[in-house]
Amino acid sequence: MRALLYDPGAPQGLRLGEAPDPEPGESQALVEVHAVSFNFGELAYREGRSRPGDIAGWDAAGVVARAAADGSGPAVGTRVVTFGWTGGWAELRAADTAELATVPDSVDLGEASALPVAGVTALQALRGLGPVVGRRVLITGASGGVGRFAVQLAHRAGAHVVASVGSPERGEGLADLGADEVVVGQSASRR
């Protein structure tokens, strides 16, 4: 199968190449990958964590080609989004059934592939605050992937959301996502 492989000598440390098909474990589904997303961490910190020839990629979405042998997880043909520390940037991925979720037909697989790392990071950060209903919540780096999810989740949870960004351009669209205030440096604009 084709995959993006770690290659320290290639531009950006990645090259398109051939790799063996993954062999799923008992509690893993084999997923035919249709879309992937790129996260800062997996691109910036590959060196020292990857060996030449390793398949990169944390987030991927696709369709279950083979269900998990232990009966856990979704059936063949189910649209899913997957997470794992390696192996996402390939035509096939063996994914632990605990690390995948069903994607509704109304959601584009490309959009779904951007959810696992950024969305779960935002959710875990907000859960760490406890209940936010009626509270003011400051979200720094609100224009990034995690920040945009955090703005939406905090707004839906009933918080007064203050979104902090580095420039007016970076703050565009945050009010539409639920930010009550957008702070650029020391200035704020209210919606």
**pLDDT tens digit sequence for 156-166:** 999 999 999 99
pLDDT, position 39: 85
pLDDT, position 51: 87
Residue 63 φ/ψ, nearest 5 degrees: -125, 135
- Yes or no: say if 82 and 65 are a contact pair by the CB < 8 Å rule: no
pLDDT greater than 60 at residue 183: yes
Residue 50 confidence class, pLDDT cut points 50, 70, 90: confident
DSSP characters for 81-124?
A: EEE-SS--SBSEEEEEGGGEEE--TTS-HHHHTTSHHHHHHHHH
Which comes out higher in pLDDT, residue 188 or 88? 88
Give the SS3 label for residue 144. coil
The crossing angle, in degrees rounded to 10, of helices 116-127 and 145-156 is 50
Determine what percent of the chain is predicted with pLDDT higher than 70.
95
Residue 95 confidence class, pLDDT cut points 50, 70, 90: very high
pLDDT, position 187: 54
